[in-house]
Every structure is written in structure tokens, then in C-alpha cells.
Chain A
Amino acid sequence: MQKVSRLSRFNIASLALGLAFLYLPILILVLYSFNASRLVTVWGGWSLRWYHEFFNDRAMIEAAWMSLRVAVASATIATLLGTLAAVALSRGERFRGRTLFSGMLYAPLVMPEVITGLSLLLLFVALNAERGFWTVTIAHTTLTMCFVAVVVQSRLGSLDRSLEEAAMDLGCDPVGAFIAVTLPLIAPAIVAGWMLAFTLSLDDLVIASFTTGPGSATLPIRIYSEVRLGVKPEINAICTLVIALIAVVIVIASLASKLSSSQGESAAPL
């Protein structure tokens, strides 16, 4: 707190402006979600009317449920695959094409989502796959797996390899050593990776709109199509709920990674 008092007026002003730029829109959105008025931009007193409206909007609830299911499923699959990829990259023998593999693994990080979405759409059409829950889940797994791999691999990289050797020396086979020593130590990173994948999937619009089919819209798609017909205050209520959910998940994820790095320090040599 002492540091804040030492900031100049200019610093305080620029900080306030920056924060306002980032959070004022969100704040207004949250505020207007409690608006009693039917008009989005006119304040008509406090009310939970639009939350009530949302919970009675079957189509919207279905979209939200779809989004949650996709997010949980894709985050879980992505965490599993991403962790395996990270282990292979940082622990496995130097196999042929290793650099290519790691490059390809990280490609979705920088690939424009439109391209990822379009190419997946073409794939699903070519395979004649019925588009819906599973195609969106697979698409989101593709997108989020690389994020999980990055998080887990950085944790594995900072982990002392002699810990696994010590476990083997004390009677574990290689798999046993991984389960008994490595897994508990990278668990926070795995949890953080899952949370990251979950939120990425939850707010994705582009890839989902390419890969989903009729009757299985995710929440962002549903909101987007509603907004095109004019912003209803109900959208504000939904967005506020999504913001709350993502905020909770992000706080848990950052706590988990903090825990992970504080354990990592003790693993380092003296």
C-alpha cells in the first residue's frame, strides 16, 4: 500500500483511466443487468426481472447447458491429452520429429480461430459427421489442448528430474515413480490447465459457430444471434452470470498455479 502513496498524480490518473477502459463496460453491463426497464440504456430502478426472464427462457437455458457440457467435456479431454503431450515432450527420449511435434502442438495457440474453425468444419463435412455436441467438443479440445500442454510442460520443466530417479531408486517402476512423485507435484498445473481450457471453451464463439449444427447452439452463439435482433436486458443478466462463473474459475486457477510454483521452489537444489 505504501507504494501506491508514492505514485505521482499522473500515475494515478493513467492507472484509473486504464482500469476504467478495461472494466467500465463490464461494470455497466453488470449494473444494467439489474435494471427494471425494458430499454437497455434507460435506468428504471433495481430489479431481478431479467434474471427471472433468463431462467424461464428455455432456449437460452438449453444453450447454457450445452456450453457447460461442451466446456467440461472438452476441458477434460484436452487436459488428459495435453498432459500426455507435455510428459512426452519433457520426459520422453528424444524421438524423431520431436521438434515438429512440439511445433504442431503449439500451432493452435497462434492460428486464427477462423482458420481452425473452417478447417474443422471441412473435416467434419468430409467425414459426413453429424454436427452437434461432439463436433464442438472435439473442436474445442483441439483449441485448448495446446494451452494445457504449455502450462503442464513449464511445470514439468522446472521439476528436478532426480526426484523421479530417487523414486525409482527407492523401489518404484517408471510408471509408479510418475504416479507417486511427478503427478502430485504437477497436479496444480494440471488443475490450472483444466480451468484455462474450461473458460476458453465457454467463451468461444468463432470455432463453435463453425462446428456446431442446428439445434445445438452454445451460449455465445445464442447470445450473438439474439443481439443481432437488438440487445435485450436479459442478455446483460446472462453475461453477468458468465462473468461471475469465469471469475471464480480464474481465481481458482491462479491460486492453483501459485501453489504449484511455491512447491516448485522447494524442489530446486540448494
Chain B
Amino acid sequence: MAEESPGTKVAAETAGGDACPDAGQPLLRIEGVAKTFGTFRAVDGVSLDIKAGEFFALLGPSGCGKTTLLRMLAGFEAPDEGRILLGGKDIALALPHERPINMMFQNYALFPHLSVRDNIAFGLKRAGMARAEIATRVSEMVALVKLEGLEKRKPDQLSGGQRQRVALARALARRPKLLLLDEPLAALDKKLRESTQGELMELQRRLGMTFIIVTHDQEEAMTMADRIGVMKSGKLAQVAPPRELYEAPHSRWIAEFVGDINLFDGETKLRDGHRLVIGTRDAGALVVAEPREGVGSGKLAVAIRPEKVKLSRRGPVTEAGRETAINILDGVIADICYLGGTTTYKVKLDTGGMLQASVANSARLDIDAYSLNQHVVAWFTPDDCVVLQS
């Protein structure tokens, strides 16, 4: 919070307000929250701490309970179990209007009978703010989301992107301690979505506000969030910063859900200091770095991201200790998928398995490209592998 630029009035005011408790204490603490609809357990014992000023993303496939969790934070659903503490106070059963939390709805939910100005002022009027103050705040918000000149328009006279901005301004106008965003960019086209992602991040940093975003788009979550909570069947499968989530997934499911990955099932054959040799069915013996605590016995899977796999015609130049220093696999190119910036090759390994390798197209001409059925050597280091419980 300290490094934010005090350039705008809004930022200065918010930073001076009551929105920042001690850095140590979480702004929001979710404790064992559960919600059941009929016999379907939508949210199943979720516990989570959110720090003030954090940009947190709830990521998961549809039906995983992320939206239900968000709606419980907003107060539209009451949890069956657990507590929701905001700044130390339990708000689990408080009504939506009693919470210093605002939400931006997936379809924006702009009031069609009110102008842009009145939509933004709606929450301020309910808060009993003086007229002059409301006018100042509204024009501040309009400037913040760059909607100058459109104040008198009705929502149906705006484009999708403009509506999204009105919804954002309306949710921010009351300066909530916590802003919830339910798939805020899902209705925008790709280009607009990307630029809006940047603007949202910039805004969040500038205002020093705490954002929780719900999304099914992992790229969106990776781009924007400080931390990501991946949900699966009502439970939090892993909570980690984007990089950790991608490079050190906790489970096979997360490894497959986030990005592309090669997985080889096998069992430990040899333990040698910080190295482990795992015998796999499809890729032979693979040398991997020692896995995290609790993993290492029974059925395992070796996971390797496609971009960590290097391809060459004759294998790596450093041949030193071919047995334990590096994994080298021979195969032929079985499939080529050109994606512009990268090319994904599917290599049919001589050991039987398939290995995906993603290669950056760093040269314009195709001198480095491989052709179908060409013999190649694929290699990757033990540190690039992740060992998962299978």
C-alpha cells in the first residue's frame, strides 16, 4: 500500500481511509464455509485468508462453486456452515446492504431506467451522502473509468465495453473494503478483454483496494491476480501465486487444469541424494528433482510442461553423465501445430509414449523447424519435472 502513487485524489482518499488494517491481519477470513443446495454440496468447507490490497482470483471450471462462494461473500447466499470474517467481524449472515462489500455482476446488472450518472450515484444516495458530495464523487468515478460525456445516456445506449465501465464505476463509487467481480470480462471480445485486464490491474493498484475476481479463464487469472485459488467440486484445490500454481501444482488435476502438461505414470526406482529415478511405462526411467514433502511413494506421475522440453536433431551438446544429469528421449515427430509465436510438436517416443514440446519460433524463416516423421532428440532437466501423486 505504501508504494502506490498518490497521484489521484481517489487514491489519496482511499489510502487515508479505514480500508487498510494491519498488514499482518487478513482483511477477509473465510473459515470452513459450506453451502448445500438440496443434495448438491456447492461449496464444501472452504477456508481462505485474503490480505488487504490483494488481487485474488477464484479459478475453476463451471459448477465448481466459485460463484456460490462469491455470492456468499456478497450476502446473496447464507452459508450453511462456517464463518466469514471481514476485518475481524463475522458477516456470514449479514444482509447484502449491511456489508462494506460491493459486487460487479457478470451481466453488469445496470438499472435500465436510470442514466449512467444515476446508476453510479445509486449506492451513494442510499448511503445518505449530501447532494454536492454525490456530484463530486460521480464525476470522479466517471473520470476514473473514462466515461466523460456519457453521463446522461441510458445503459441501452452504450456499447458492451462502456457498460462494463459503468458497472465498475458503480461498484467502486461506495469505496468498498472489498470489491467482488463475477466474470467481469466474459462478455467482452478478446482485444477489449486484454486491454481491460490491464486497466483493472492498474485501477486496483492505484486505489489500493482488495479485489476478488471469479473467472473460468486461467489466462485472465494468471495475468491479473496476485494469488489464485483453484476450486474443484466445492473445495479449494490449491491457493498459490500464478507462477507457483503453474510450476509447482499440488495435484495431477491442477497440473492438467492449468496450462498444458505431459504426464508419465510410474514408480520410484532409485533415490540418490536430491535426485529420484522414476521408472515410467511410456518414457522409460526419468530423473527428477526431489519432490515436495509427502510425495514420493506409491504410484507417481512425472509432469513436464511442453515449453520445458527442448528438441534437437542430435541431442544436447553436454553429454556429461547422460544417465543421471538429464533426461534424453529419442523419438519421431508425429504431429505439428503451428501457433504463430510457438510451434507445438508431438513426439512419438521410441519408448512408446507421446511427448508434447512447445518451441518458440525465434526465427522468421523455418530453418529450425522440424518436419513430420523426422527423428529428434527431446531432453529436459530433472529440475523442470514435477513429481505428483498419481
Q: Which residues of A contact B (CB under 8 A)?
A: 160, 162-163, 165-174, 176, 180-181, 184-185, 263, 265-267, 269-270
Contacts and interface: CB of A to CB of B under 8 A. Distances in A.
Given A171-B126, A176-B126, A269 B187 contact: yes
Given A171-B174, A181-B111, A263-B113, A162 B97 contact: no
A173 B99 CA distance: 12
A165 B112 CA distance: 14
Contact of B155 (A172, A185, A266): A266
Contacts of A266: 112, 154-156
B107 A269 contact: yes
B123 A171 contact: yes
B168 to A, nearest CB: 13
Interface in B301-344: none
Nearest to B186: A270
B112 A171 contact: no
B170 A270 contact: no
8 contacts: A165-B76, A166-B170, A168-B96, A169-B101, A180-B122, A181-B111, A266-B155, A270-B108
- Name, among A162, A180, A269, the residue most crowded by chain B CB atoms within 10 Å (CB to CB): A162
Interface string B9-33: 0000000000000000000000000
Contacts of A162: 105-107, 109
A54 B99 CA distance: 65
A169 B102 contact: yes
- Name, among A172, A263, A266, the residue most crowded by chain B CB atoms within 10 Å (CB to CB): A266
Contact of B97 (A163, A172, A185, A267): A172
Given A184-B113, A263-B112, A270 B107 contact: yes
The A interface, classified by DSSP as helix, strand, loop or mixed, is: helix
Contacts of A185: 112-113
Nearest to A263: B112
Contact of A169 (B74, B108, B156, B160): B74
Nearest to B122: A170
B95 interface: yes
A270 B107 CA distance: 7
A182 to B, nearest CB: 10
Given A176-B126, A266-B154, A266-B155, A169 B97 contact: yes
B58 interface: no
B76 A170 contact: no
Contacts of A270: 107-108, 160, 163, 187
Contacts of B74: 165, 169
B160 A171 contact: no
A168 B113 CA distance: 17
A170 B107 contact: no
A163 B155 CA distance: 13
A171 B102 CA distance: 9
A185 B114 CA distance: 10
B173 to A, nearest CB: 8
B127 interface: yes
A185 B122 CA distance: 16
Given A168-B97, A170-B122, A269-B106, 12 more contacts: A162-B106, A166-B109, A168-B96, A169-B74, A169-B75, A169-B101, A171-B123, A171-B126, A180-B122, A266-B156, A267-B112, A269-B187
Given A163-B111, A184-B113, A263-B112, A170 B187 contact: no
